[in-house]
Amino acid sequence: MRLTAEQIASFHEDGFLVLQDWFTPDEVDLLRTETYHEFGNDQPGRILEKNGAVRTVFAAHKSNDVFSRLTRLQKMAEPAAQLLGDEVYVHQFKINAKLGLDGDQWEWHQDYLYWLKEDAMPTPNVLSAVVFLNTVDDFNGPLLLIPGSQKMGTIDLDVEKKYQQLDVAESWKPTLTADLKYKISKRTLIRALENSRIVAAKGTPGFVVFFHGNTLHASAGNLSPVDRLSVFISYNTVANALQPIANPRPTFISERDFTPIAALPDDALLAPRNGHSSPQREQLASLAG
Amino acid sequence: MRLTAEQIASFHEDGFLVLQDWFTPDEVDLLRTETYHEFGNDQPGRILEKNGAVRTVFAAHKSNDVFSRLTRLQKMAEPAAQLLGDEVYVHQFKINAKLGLDGDQWEWHQDYLYWLKEDAMPTPNVLSAVVFLNTVDDFNGPLLLIPGSQKMGTIDLDVEKKYQQLDVAESWKPTLTADLKYKISKRTLIRALENSRIVAAKGTPGFVVFFHGNTLHASAGNLSPVDRLSVFISYNTVANALQPIANPRPTFISERDFTPIAALPDDALLAPRNGHSSPQREQLASLAG
């Protein structure tokens, strides 16, 4: 199998697993080229920062062959299946830009809270695999995680709201607004850090982080001139398929086709086959090589 | 003298100097108590974050005995005079809150640009001394500095504006807004980093950073639950006094009394004398001990 027993145990202990050098420089070049290509497309899945720079592009795997193949590579889908213990499909796909000087922060949150509240995903047995396309250091907004925070379970939002009201009442804050809809209170963050710490996921281009749906994570703004591009692939198990709801979110944000992935060989990103290639993409791949 | 020849040379080389353990835990306790007291005062010098939390309080040294004494301590005013080579006065005083989870970022800038453009300060021979009242690590928004960036001189804002227009024209940004009035372009930041790097000023409560008016600096948002309180005292030389202008900024932002500081002994923060004490403050000092 792809991951060792130690790596699997580490994921279940910490709520995340960092894999250095998971993609080659040629693969990273191709993914980076395709990423900037997607940023230039004015499409419904493209979300902007407050300052107008690109923040996120959703669902590029539905229209872009390279990203489609990326989600199906054995080295991505197999670890996801191993860590979740079941066949997987892609619940959500997004590219986060965090451009040099423009990339804003993401506050502390659990991904699963969104998928529970917005999409009726039954359990938190879901994870995200993030491919980082640049060197990530302390200054370009590394992904921050709290080891073991997934063991707190899914956070109760009614309690969080009460905590936040208390925090405001006890502080000098005339007003309070939350950027994120399902924001974690300061009290809960302090509790998560009582026997843990904040860890920054750093590495060279092509490293990958797998993290559990309940793992608390955040990232600071990018104060370096270096972009910090990352591709988030959220894998869910077929057994944990979304329940039917009245007004589901668009499928470019929340997939409702639960067909499990038919994995591709690891070299399929640069050497497409099985009808998943196109002449234009092959040319790009060859240029990137 | 207060600073060694090596420390002075280091300041002139890097544009900043970090002094660990410059204040005792008792002194830090007193400064922290007074800081939260000032945050609670709805005063003209109190500036809020976008989310409503306190961001900055200006000029507390004009009304608060403890902060008044702080600016005059020999261990603050003497190094300032040594590094600038002349008698000094306090040009600007502010407390930056950077509260846990609420403290927003500060973009890259040179302080002197503001004082040149807004206040008609003749030369960049000015510095700020920052007292940090908490442990500062990678996650609560450390002050970031670029060693040697002061040697670039004062940045030409007309050139910066052209660079920023070029950056926008060459990118996929539909719009662009700058939070800071005198924002540094990505091109200039890249140039500053060509033969340098970003350094984070970290330490335990009571450490101090002296930095030159032309040193490029910034800080990320505070993504930890720990506040990152800091007191900024900007010392200018009497020889570099502001020129008269038509509509000067209020004196709580930009001092126009250029009387040099009469320094107090280092123990004067906790043991006030010379008529600078008040019973209430002495009680606080004794409680803090």
Report pLDDT digits (tens) over A22-47: 999 999 999 999 999 999 888 888 98
B56 reaches A (C-beta below 8 A):
no
Lowest mean pLDDT among A280-284, B30-34, B108-112, B253-257: A280-284
Does any CB of chain B come closer than 8 Å to the CB of residue A280? no
In the predicted structure, residue B66 carries a pLDDT above the cut 50: yes
Q: Which chain B residues have a beta carbon less than 8 Å from that of A174?
A: 48, 52
Tell me the residue type at B57: V
User: What is the rounded distance in angstroms from the CA atom of residue B202 to the CA atom of residue B138?
Assistant: 8
In this prediction the pTM is 0.87
Question: How far apart (Å, rounded) are the C-alpha atoms in residues B218 and B220?
Answer: 7
Classify the C-alpha dihedral A266-A267-A272-A275 as positive or negative: negative
- Distance (Å, rounded) from C-alpha A51 to C-alpha B175? 7
Write down the domain spans for chain B: 5-287
Place of tokens 């002296």: B210
d(CA A249, CA A252): 8
Is the predicted pLDDT of residue B282 greater than 60, yes or no?
no
Q: Does domain B5-287 have CATH number 1.10.10.10?
A: no
pLDDT band per the 50, 70, 90 thresholds, residue B168: low
Residue type, A287: L
A92 pLDDT exceeds 80?
Answer: yes
B96 in Cβ contact with B55 (< 8 Å): yes
Nearest to B187 by CA among B200, B170, B173, B211: B170
CB contact under 8 A, B225 and A186: yes
Does residue A282 have a pLDDT over 50?
no
pLDDT tens by residue, B71-108: 999 999 999 999 999 999 999 999 999 999 989 999 99
Of the candidates B141, B108, B11, B37, the one whose C-alpha atom is nearest the C-alpha of residue A144 is: B141
Query: Where is B144: in which H helix or E strand?
Result: strand B143-145
Using a 10 angstrom Cβ sphere, with 0-12 exposed, 13-18 middle and 19 or more buried, the burial of residue A98 is buried
Contact B176/A52 with Cβ under 8 angstroms? yes
Distance from CA of B146 to the nearest CA of A (A): 11
A40 to chain B, closest Cα gap in Å: 6
How high is the pLDDT of residue B283? Answer: 41
Q: What is chain B's mean pLDDT, rounded?
A: 89
Predicted confidence (pLDDT) per residue in B108-151, tens digit? 999 999 999 999 999 999 999 999 999 999 999 999 999 999 99
pLDDT digits (tens, 9 = 90+) for B174-208: 444 445 678 788 999 999 999 999 999 999 999 99
Q: Give me B217's structure tokens.
A: 């600096």
Has residue A97 got a pLDDT over 90? yes
Name the H helices within chain A.
5-14, 25-39, 65-72, 74-84, 111-119, 157-169, 186-193, 279-288
Mean pLDDT computed over A249-277: 87
- CB-CB contact of B157 with B115 (8 Å): no
- Report yes or no: A198 at the B interface, CB cutoff 8 Å: yes
pLDDT at B1: 65
Interface contact A221-B224, CB threshold 8 A: no
Model pLDDT, residue A278 = 46
Average pLDDT over chain A reads 89
